[in-house]
Structure 1
Amino acid sequence: MECSEMKNLLHKGLTLAAGSMTLGMSLTRMGLIVVLVWIGALKIYKYEADGIVPFVANSPFMSFFYKYNAPDYTKHVNPEGAVVPANRAWHEGNHTYPFALGLGAVLVVYGLMIGLNPWLPQVAALGSALVVIMSFVTLSFLITTPESWVPDLGGPEQGFPLLSARGRLVVKDAIMLGAAWVTMADSAARYLRSRS
């Protein structure tokens, strides 16, 4: 292929990509809605509520929701899918499940707010702004939650910057932060256009 043909092909590809902004924004918004509503709805399940305990218990912003202080939870961790009655009883006393229900409801509401963009873009902009704030709080778990890093179990690979499974779950919120910021700006611009 000649150089001029390659440049022409590149130009066509970039023109196509540049014209797909509306599709990209729609996919970004739908992605936020799906993630927020789905993960929020999962909070009704006890395995999901159990899984967020290390993040909440160690957070200076959220630990007051629980009865017991960190690291008490480490003795009551339920592996996903396992039911240990004594651990479930501890979580009941810790207020793990009511907190998870409340958090799940908040996530679902944020997702629904973002979904109102075609009709109430100002509400969608607020929903996205709340997700931006939430993402900063969630990303703080990388600092506050010891389980975010590979633990010292005798091997040479441990600690910062080696993310554990929990840490890899949290760091993905950097994407949510960016997506929420973009949808916030888009919804705000849509609202301002409708007012002028």
Structure 2
Amino acid sequence: MQPTYTHYCIYSLLIISLSLLGLSLLYGAGVNNVHAIFDFYQLANVIPQKVQSILAGGAFLATVLFIVLSLKQSYFQAPAFVSLIVLAVIPLITLLSESRWMTDLGGFPIIGSGQGIIKYTALISLAIYLYKPQRLSAQGMAVLNLFPVALVLIWIGGVKFYEFEANGIVPLVSTSVFMSWLYTLFSVQTASDLIGIYDIFFALALALAIIKKHPLAIYVSALGCSAVFLMTQTFLYSAEGAFDSSTLLASLGLFVIKDLWFVANLLVIANFAKKLNPR
């Protein structure tokens, strides 16, 4: 299948995000996160911590290489597909660990460090869209790419109603040119509640629009969802802890850059709306 403009946009978002993640991990960023994954698979005591970072970073960069090569030769589409799936599944399985949940608040579904892990669901949907498009109808593909978007917006949006999350986003919201005004008008908790309501509303609106096959509603709700993920990218410049001179991305940067994957998911959904109303 000949790549479209949407495909090239998605390839670009993947290449940029995975490259930044790979290089940062290669230079030692997110050591604790990488160690937690190796520890889950009982490899932390077998493989030195420095090697763990190298292996993690190398996996991301190898995936980037396969994606780039797949644009030149169809032979590399299979390795690119498998790499994206493996890159997503390995961390996702660690959600079975209790360490991913807020045990002091009852554990599952109160998510802690797993907030960054559930984002990997986006890669699975994108891999299928790019390399196995014949598996699903256009609407089926839209639903598949809706899943990670709705999962993150509803789940993490729901956590915004808890005090720990409301306090946790203060360094991000308070330094944002676009969002700091919330603390002028509302309390920390109320501002967090409003953000959570926004996230959940647009996720549900997008789901309903896709089910009803309403192009305008899909565009509007997808735009509302994309605003969330594009807004988080501004935190790379406004909040502390996004960059590190020695590792490129720091902990916040590693968390935020993954939101580019959801922008890619939303491009797939917007393409579905375009097919519904080609004019």
TM-score normalised by the chain length of structure 2: 0.47
Distance 1:129 1:160 in 2: 35
Aligned to 1:113: 205
Contact 1:125 1:185 in 2 (8 A): no
Secondary structure of the structure 2 residue equivalent to 1:54: helix
Choose 1 or 2 for highest CA Rg: 1
Match of 1:33 among 146, 150, 171: 150
Contact 1:135 1:177 in 2 (8 A): yes
Cα deviation digits, residues 52-96 of structure 1 (max 9, x gap): 1111111111112124xxxxxxxxxxxxxxxxxxxxxxxxxx821
Q: Give the drift of 1:17.
A: 2.3
Distance 2:205 2:226 in 1: 13
Secondary structure of the structure 2 residue equivalent to 1:50: helix
Distance 2:204 2:188 in 1: 24
Distance 1:185 1:126 in 2: 13
Secondary structure of the structure 2 residue equivalent to 1:66: helix
Q: Give the drift of 1:113.
A: 0.9
Cα deviation digits, residues 86-111 of structure 1 (max 9, x gap): xxxxxxxx821100000000000010
Give me the identity figure in percent: 22
Aligned to 1:171: 257
Secondary structure of the structure 2 residue equivalent to 1:60: coil
Letter in 1 for 2:187: H
Match of 2:235 among 132, 141, 145: 141
1:12-161 paired onto structure 2 within 5 Å: 17-22=132-137, 23-67=140-184, 95-116=187-208, 117-119=210-212, 121=214, 122-149=216-243, 158-159=244-245
Q: Which runs of 5+ in 2 are unaligned?
A: 1-74, 82-130
Cα deviation digits, residues 160-189 of structure 1 (max 9, x gap): 753222221111111111111221231343
Aligned to 2:270: 184
Q: Which runs of 5+ in 1 are unaligned?
A: 1-6, 68-93, 150-157
Distance 1:124 1:105 in 2: 19
Q: CA RMSD in A?
A: 2.7
Q: How many residues align?
A: 148
Letter in 2 for 1:138: T
Distance 1:97 1:159 in 2: 34
TM-score normalised by the chain length of structure 1: 0.66
Secondary structure of the structure 2 residue equivalent to 1:166: helix
Secondary structure of the structure 1 residue equivalent to 2:178: coil
* Residue 64 to residue 139, structure 1, CA distance change in 2 (3 Å): same
Which structure's residues are more often helix, by fraction? 2
Contact 1:129 1:181 in 2 (8 A): no
Q: Give the drift of 1:125.
A: 2.3
Contact 1:54 1:147 in 2 (8 A): no
